Structure 1
Amino acid sequence: MALKVIALAALVAVALARPESTPSYGYGATTPSSGPAKYDFNYAVNDPPSGNDFGHQEARDGPNTQGSYYVLLPDGRLQKVAYTVNGDSGYVADVTYEGDASTPRPYTSSPYTPAPHYA
């Protein structure tokens, strides 16, 4: 009988501890930080010893975006992509290449020479 009373008391305690209303996680009013997107950025990397040459720039004002990026391809050409996104028009890109493609030289390593062994 005592076990039934304890179980009933625990059930009542759990029921009373439950919050009366669940919190709302809806979206609030538009604030300056959640208004239309507006930004402008760019970066570039040019490191001749490693062969890295690439960059990107983009500007956005609300639903309109325009930008470009470029990369030095392994065949020696420079690939440039200019793009726009105007509202719901989707991504529209114009791809161009500069330079002539060439076959990269194959990697040649020096023959393996084992380290000297000292007795």
Structure 2
Amino acid sequence: MAFKFLALLALVAAASAVVLPVAVKHVEYADGPAEYQFSYSVHDDTTGDIKSQQEERHGDNVVGQYTLVDADGYRRVVDYTADEHNGFNAVVRREPLTQKVVKTVVPVAKFVAPVAHHYVAPVPHISYPTYYHH
């Protein structure tokens, strides 16, 4: 009798269940023209890493320049623009440096593994279980 009562109660609960509405939140983002500018530069005499970049964006127009020092002692300068009408355009120049870039060689620490003159591999000891039948 208790089982019939619980089954009827579960059936009534399932029939009277109501689906709750889900709250939907819509977020509006500003859809204005993109505006930014940035620049950075690196000048590391130890590694010879010398480079820089600067860029500006106003709406769909991007203007920028980056420079780097090649291994052959020339500075490469790239001036670029990008816009909706012409796409990406770059003008590359190679300029000789007034002074040579000398890369200093960092000494490498050498590690020599010790030499094993005499080595004896351990002998494995295997013991099997012993079964006795009486």
Counterpart in 2 of 1:28? 28
* Cα distance, 1:81 vs structure 2: 1.2
**Distance verdict in 2 for CA 1:113–1:90, change over 3 Å:** closer
Aligned to 2:13: 9
Q: Shift of the alpha carbon at 1:4?
A: 5.2
Give 1 or 2 for the bigger CA radius of gyration. 2
Equivalent position SS for 2:10: helix
Which residue does 1:87 correspond to in 2? 84
The equivalent residue for 2:127 is none
Q: What is the TM-score of this pair, normalised by structure 1?
A: 0.62
Runs of 4+ in structure 1 over 6 Å off: none
1:62 aligns with 2:59: yes
Q: Which amino acid aligns with 1:41?
A: F
CA displacement at 1:46 relative to structure 2: 0.9
Cross-structure match for 2:45: 48
Distance 1:8 1:69, change over 3 A: farther
Q: Please list every run of 5 or more consecutive structure 2 residues that lacks an aligned counterpart in the other structure.
A: 98-102, 115-134
Report the secondary structure of 1:45's partner residue: strand
Deviation at 1:54, TM superposition (A): 0.7
2:76 paired with 1:72: no
Identity of aligned residues (%): 30
* Structure 1 unaligned regions, length at least 5: none
Q: Number of matched residues?
A: 104
Higher helix share: 1
**Alignment partners' CA distance in 2, 1:8 and 1:75:** 85
Aligned-pair Cα RMSD in Å: 3.6
* Distance in 2 (alpha carbons) for counterparts of 1:11 and 1:52: 73
3-state SS of paired residue (2:39): strand
Compute the TM-score of the two structures, normalised by the length of structure 2: 0.57
CA distance in 1, matches of 2:36, 2:111: 56
